[in-house]
């Protein structure tokens, strides 16, 4: 079903595992206004921009459909809904892909465009849910523009290409990168500003582990760890196309990062055309010496500068905005603190 959380008007309709609500950003990205939501949750949709809707009480599967329809049907009876959507001339269908199932092929054949995505949904308890199967949006009778706006690449599963290791710090001869990465004119690294229990700091350069496809390297991509984290961070960034950085330093993390740390509010954004210079600035905002972070030591002078005097700063004053970030009391993290 689509929508958000709701108050059940009665006990007439039972909320089941079929209830899986689509987040608002999906509809914002599509930019469509629907005439009819044919499978809305009890109480009606919240996020779906629709003029009318059917709930289970209305039996949207057999009721008349007209205009542009949104269909996120109960997956326990998906094929019947898929057939009904195919018979209609205008609509968007949300489903999950199973290549061996016949209705997947039928839907794709009837659609004008199909977009695959890794969308997280919301269950009736308000918890985020990610389906095990790939999710698709099939578009019919509305052109392809909305599908293009919704396009999302899961870099873990894309077709890959081989790139030689242009850094040479690790023993790896090269890297498999997703085709979206290889075809990009510009890659934007958008990490959170946080501490790291091994490296001290993780920001835009370390964030590029995210372009390494799990389908090739497995999870949690231990082949990179075994080849050396600082070395592979440097090598990956040396082998990528042009990269810039936008670091979310609004709500940050200190302590046992990058997962088990504690929140720290900074209220900042840090961005620049050199990921190395951005990461050096991030370190200074955390009152950590960038020259003592192992992967920044490798990047210095080769991928960018760490020298504050050579980094053109715009906006707020780094020294005035900086605040000490707590680090774990571990031998390898001692001595990282910036001395002023």
Spatial CA neighbour of 191 closest among 205, 178, 177, 180: 205
> Quick one: tokens of 168?
């040479």
Alpha helices in 186-315 (DSSP H): 214-217, 222-226, 229-239, 275-285, 294-299
Q: What pLDDT does 132 receive?
A: 62
d(CA 143, CA 154): 23
pLDDT of residue 105: 83
Share of the chain above pLDDT 70, in %: 89
Q: In which band, very low, low, confident or very high, does the pLDDT at 241 lie, cut at 50, 70 and 90?
A: very high
- Which pair of tokens denotes residue 306? 């760490």
From CA 278, how far away is CA 294, in angstroms rounded? 16
Q: Could you report the per-residue pLDDT of 88-110, keeping only the tens digit for each?
A: 999 999 987 765 567 788 899 99
**Residue with the larger pLDDT of the pair 126 and 239:** 239
pLDDT for the residue 104: 80
SS3 236: helix
**Is the pLDDT at 300 greater than 70, yes or no?**
yes
Please give the Cα distance from 93 to 141 (Å, whole number).
Answer: 12
For the chain, give every domain's residue range: 24-150, 177-333
pLDDT of residue 133: 67
Locate 3 and state its tokens: 């929508």
- Bridge partners for 116 per DSSP: 136
pTM for the model: 0.65
Are 136 and 98 a contacting pair, CB within 8 Å? no
State the average pLDDT over residues 31-44: 92
Residues 6, 21 contacting (CB under 8 angstroms): no
Specify the CATH class of 24-150 in words. Answer: alpha beta
pLDDT one-digit tens code per residue, 277-294: 999 999 999 999 999 999
């Amino acid at each position: 079903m689509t929508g958000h959380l709701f108050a059940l008007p009665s006990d007439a309709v039972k909320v089941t595992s079929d209830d899986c609500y689509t987040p608002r950003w999906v509809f914002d990205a599509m930019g469509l206004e629907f005439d009819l939501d044919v499978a809305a949750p009890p109480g009606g949709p919240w996020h779906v921009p629709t003029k009318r809707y059917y709930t289970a009480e209305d039996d949207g599967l057999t009721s008349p459909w007209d205009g542009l329809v949104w269909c996120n049907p109960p997956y326990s009876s998906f094929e019947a809904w898929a057939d009904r959507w195919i018979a209609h001339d205008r609509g968007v269908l949300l489903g999950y892909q199973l290549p061996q199932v016949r209705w997947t092929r039928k839907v794709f054949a009837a659609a004008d465009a199909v977009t695959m995505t890794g969308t997280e949904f919301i269950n009736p308890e308000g918890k985020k849910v990610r389906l095990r199967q790939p999710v698709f949006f099939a578009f019919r009778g509305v052109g392809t523009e909305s599908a293009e706006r919704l396009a999302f690449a899961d870099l873990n599963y894309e077709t890959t290409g081989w790139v030689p290791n242009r850094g040479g710090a690790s023993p790896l001869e090269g890297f498999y990168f997703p085709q979206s990465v290889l075809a990009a004119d510009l890659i934007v690294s958008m990490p959170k500003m946080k501490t790291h229990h091994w490296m001290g700091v993780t920001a835009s350069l370390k964030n590029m582990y995210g372009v390494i496809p799990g389908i090739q390297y497995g999870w949690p991509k231990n082949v990179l760890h075994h080849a050396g984290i600082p070395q592979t961070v440097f090598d990956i960034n040396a082998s990528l196309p042009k990269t810039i950085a936008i670091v979310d330093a609004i709500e940050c993390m200190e302590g046992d990062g990058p997962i088990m740390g504690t929140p720290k509010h900074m209220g900042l954004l840090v961005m620049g055309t050199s990921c190395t210079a951005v990461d050096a600035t991030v370190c200074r905002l955390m009152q950590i010496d960038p020259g003592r972070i192992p992967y920044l030591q490798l990047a210095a002078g080769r991928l960018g500068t760490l020298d504050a005097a050579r980094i053109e700063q715009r906006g707020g004053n780094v020294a005035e905005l900086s605040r000490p970030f707590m680090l774990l009391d571990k031998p390898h993290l001692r001595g990282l603190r910036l001395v002023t």
